[in-house]
Structure 1
Amino acid sequence: MTESTATPGRPVGALVNGPAPLLVDAVVRAAREAHEAPDVVDAALSLARRLGAELPLPAMGQTWKLWSSLASLATVDLTVARVVEPHLDALAILHQAAADGHHPAPPGPTETWGVFAAEGPGTRLSAEQVADGWLLNGVKPWCSLPGRLDRALITAWVDDRQRGLFSIDLHDQGVRVDRTSQWVAHGLPDVTSVGIRLDRVSATPVGPPGWYLEREGFAWGGIGVGSIWFGGALGLAERVRAIRRTPDQIAELHIGQLDVSLWACEQSLRAAADQVDSDRAPSPAVLANRARSVCANTAEDVLRVADHALGPAPLTTEVDYVQRVSDLRLYVRQHHAERDLAALGRLLIAEDQQ
């Protein structure tokens, strides 16, 4: 997959002047094809398999290409990006596990993967070691598209204190998708997240207990999600730039606000990618929290400015625009807002006390 200096859409002019193009043309074209397909999720899963074989892994020297590709998907369709990202993350996790000497089974070229690591009140997934391996029992909440994926990396409690990461076959007869779960979201309506119940499902450990959360790649995957929020914001900014009336001073103000916010976010992501690739990053958790928070703040800024710039008309008459707004509002809530900033503050204070 090649990059070119021709950036389709050009949401904000200053963003195309960096040392490498922000948007990856081939990825944009592929995302548009998926967006226009009769079944966008099926098309996005096919694209995920393709990109998994083409895009670089994080921290391997081309992290900016990976993150700018994720942003490129999101400028077109956040559903496509939301489907593709977990598959790429799973491939990166499996690669990291192999590099750390844990020897997971390599993913098959026709498989699509998810990563199910959320926890929820009143639910618990337990891992039990038996004579010939591991079995998982219990309920895992917030699993995206479990009925449409082939395999998943899933966290489960190995004792009262530790969680391990396991690989499972989602076609196993012991995996049951909760068909009664209500997914009423206006945002990302096709990427349903539901609970799954596992009954003695055979599982393969991926790393020792705690490895999934402790590895540096956990932080890099989190920034990848932030780059998608950034891409979603770019898509909204493009709509503001396409305003049909002759710009007055207020419209010029809005465009300036968008440019400053998006430019700062892009520079933060570029700097983070450079630090990851050159192994000059501060604490991975600190870097990830900073970069994700910048991306989340940018997405929220762009949502606000777009509301002010465009008024109610596109929110009532433009289906694609309404979907973009709803998708981004929901997706960015994966950021924990003030709680994540408080966590960053704790990390910084702890570093000062060392």
Structure 2
Amino acid sequence: MPPTAERSLITVMPHLLVNHVSFGRSPRSAGPLTTLAAQLSPSTVDEALDAAPRLGARAHSSGAGSTTDLWEAFATLAAHDLGAARAIEPHLDALAILEQADGVGTADDTAAAPRTWGVFAAEGGDDPLVATRGDDGWRLSGTKPWCSLADRLDQALVSAHVDGGARRLFAVDLGSPGVNVLEDAWHARGLTEIPSGPVRFDAVAGIPVGDAGWYLSRPGFAWGGIGVAACWFGGAVGIARTVFAAARDDKPFAVMHLGAIDELLEGARRALAEAAELVDGHEETVDPGLLAARVRSTVARACDEIVERAGRALGPAPLALDAEHAKRVADLQLYVRQHHAERDQHALGSALLRLEVAPW
């Protein structure tokens, strides 16, 4: 590649050339949480779960106005290893939920405690999780799907149905009697180290966190969804870095695909950066659900196309012979399917039709 072309690529893609992932125009300036994430750079579940309480303490001490730092930390972790990010993101989300609950349940002491948390809030199956209140407090019974690392975490925030059909959140000790992780249900080829199968709860004690319906109605639910998209974005950045290295070796057509990948990353980056500014600015005119749907769709579409373009640019060899790249691609393809494609686009369109006038 001619030196002038190389300099041009470095100019337009500065945020791919540093250890952390930046949403801003000053890629070498990272917040405290992102800096710690880049320093720790966990590559295994054990390392991630060891890092999670340290990152949680740093996030808790960062104070208000740190959404950009939080999402850049997620992207930085994911660009290094998506499995590690997948293990850490729910822990930080759980701490944020407990903080938003304003001291309800166990919120007061979580930031300093060396415990690991998950968030189990998916629905599905023929045996829904139900919470009932008795003389000894709340008890949860039923089967909860998609419980990531339930056999490794200390505690989790778990949603359950209560009287009237509403969903309520509960803090649960995963070491409690009656918590049964259903093994041999995880057959994924991506995120293989993050088993996310069902868990059976048999009269397990739970501490309520927020009122019935609060978990889904709070703005933080939407912000947490965008945080997941920041992880997707980081995974796409990791793949883009591989294409960048191949393009510098003058691999045929890699430069063209690199340019297209940069366009996709820039669109996703801008969406995340603007959303973080809106969250930190407490913009009351912003519809949290609408913003989250738009950002997640933007990032998911970019990830899907980046995976496809990377395959065309690199050919089959990295998928077969480069364990790190093959893992990153498989991890991202599975992780990004938390965005439900046409179903989520239909939900977005339906939300737009509830507006009195077109929003554009």
Q: TM-score, normalised by structure 1?
A: 0.89
Matched, 1:268 2:275: no
Matched, 1:65 2:69: yes
Measured in 2, the distance between the counterparts of 1:20 and 1:8 equals 5
Q: Tell me what 1:82 maps to.
A: 86
Could you tell me which of 258, 269, 281 is aligned with 1:278? 281
**Is the Cα contact below 8 Å between 1:240 and 1:306 reproduced in 2?**
yes
- SS at 2:97's partner residue? helix
**Unpaired stretches in structure 1, ≥5 consecutive residues:** 1-6
Could you tell me which of 322, 325, 344 is aligned with 1:321? 325
Letter in 1 for 2:280: D
Q: What is the correspondence of 1:45-64 to structure 2 with a 5 Å cutoff?
A: 45-55=49-59, 60-64=64-68
Q: Tell me what 2:17 maps to.
A: 10
Matched, 1:146 2:150: yes
Matched, 1:296 2:293: no
Deviation at 1:22, TM superposition (A): 7.7
Matched, 1:28 2:31: no
Measured in 1, the distance between the counterparts of 2:260 and 2:321 equals 25
**Is the Cα contact below 8 Å between 2:133 and 2:139 reproduced in 1?**
yes
Deviation at 1:43, TM superposition (A): 1.1
Report which stretch shifted further, 52-61 or 279-288. Answer: 52-61
Report which stretch shifted further, 217-226 or 290-299. Answer: 290-299
Letter in 2 for 1:271: E
Letter in 2 for 1:186: R
Measured in 2, the distance between the counterparts of 1:66 and 1:293 equals 20
Deviation at 1:342, TM superposition (A): 1.0
Q: Tell me what 2:7 maps to.
A: none
Q: Tell me what 1:127 maps to.
A: 131
Could you tell me which of 169, 174, 178 is aligned with 1:174? 178
Letter in 2 for 1:213: L
For residues 6-37 of structure 1, give each alpha carbon's deviation from its aligned partner in whole angstroms, at most 9, with x where no partner exists: x896189x978704548745422311xx21xx
**Is the Cα contact below 8 Å between 2:160 and 2:170 reproduced in 1?**
yes
Measured in 2, the distance between the counterparts of 1:332 and 1:260 equals 19
For residues 157-180 of structure 1, give each alpha carbon's deviation from its aligned partner in whole angstroms, at most 9, with x where no partner exists: 10252111111111101111112x
- SS at 1:193's partner residue? coil
Q: 1:245 to 1:54 in 2, by over 3 A?
A: closer
Deviation at 1:57, TM superposition (A): 8.6
RMSD in angstroms over aligned alpha carbons? 2.5
What is the count of residue pairs matched by the alignment?
338
Matched, 1:237 2:240: yes
Q: 1:184 to 1:351 in 2, by over 3 A?
A: same
For residues 262-321 of structure 1, give each alpha carbon's deviation from its aligned partner in whole angstroms, at most 9, with x where no partner exists: 011111111000011112252100000111111111111110110110011111111111
Report which stretch shifted further, 116-125 or 101-110. Answer: 101-110
**Unpaired stretches in structure 2, ≥5 consecutive residues:** 1-13
Q: 1:44 to 1:17 in 2, by over 3 A?
A: closer
Measured in 2, the distance between the counterparts of 1:116 and 1:15 equals 29
Measured in 2, the distance between the counterparts of 1:259 and 1:300 equals 14
Measured in 1, the distance between the counterparts of 2:223 and 2:239 equals 25
Q: Tell me what 2:161 maps to.
A: 157
**Is the Cα contact below 8 Å between 1:75 and 1:235 reproduced in 2?**
yes
Q: TM-score, normalised by structure 2?
A: 0.88
Measured in 2, the distance between the counterparts of 1:28 and 1:71 equals 10
- SS at 1:128's partner residue? strand
Could you tell me which of 190, 197, 200 is aligned with 1:197? 200
Report which stretch shifted further, 240-249 or 329-338. Answer: 240-249
**Is the Cα contact below 8 Å between 1:11 and 1:234 reproduced in 2?**
no
Q: Tell me what 2:8 maps to.
A: none
**Is the Cα contact below 8 Å between 2:99 and 2:107 reproduced in 1?**
no
- SS at 1:276's partner residue? helix
Measured in 2, the distance between the counterparts of 1:57 and 1:343 equals 36
Q: 1:22 to 1:78 in 2, by over 3 A?
A: farther
- SS at 1:320's partner residue? helix
**Is the Cα contact below 8 Å between 2:23 and 2:269 reproduced in 1?**
no
Measured in 2, the distance between the counterparts of 1:141 and 1:229 equals 22
